Amino acid sequence: MSDWIRWGGGPMPVDRSERVEVETECHATFTAFAGALEWSFYNGHDGVIAYRVVTD
């Protein structure tokens, strides 16, 4: 996996087909394809605060 990257909003930073792990504002983590988590990248409540690309 890549290192954690802090997320501050804006366009989704990875392709929808990339497998990513994300951390939300409530510190929950989820692993899925970015397209499945797209709502989290734009959601103002419990949105993504960090992500990393899964390379395994």
Q: Are 22 and 29 in contact (CB under 8 A)?
A: yes
Q: Give CA–CA dist 41/56, Å, rounded.
A: 22
**This prediction's pTM:** 0.80
> pLDDT tens, 17-56?
999 999 988 889 999 998 888 777 776 556 789 999 998 7
Element housing 52 (H / E): strand 48-53
Q: Give CA–CA dist 11/34, Å, rounded.
A: 12
What 3-state class would DSSP assign to 43?
A: coil
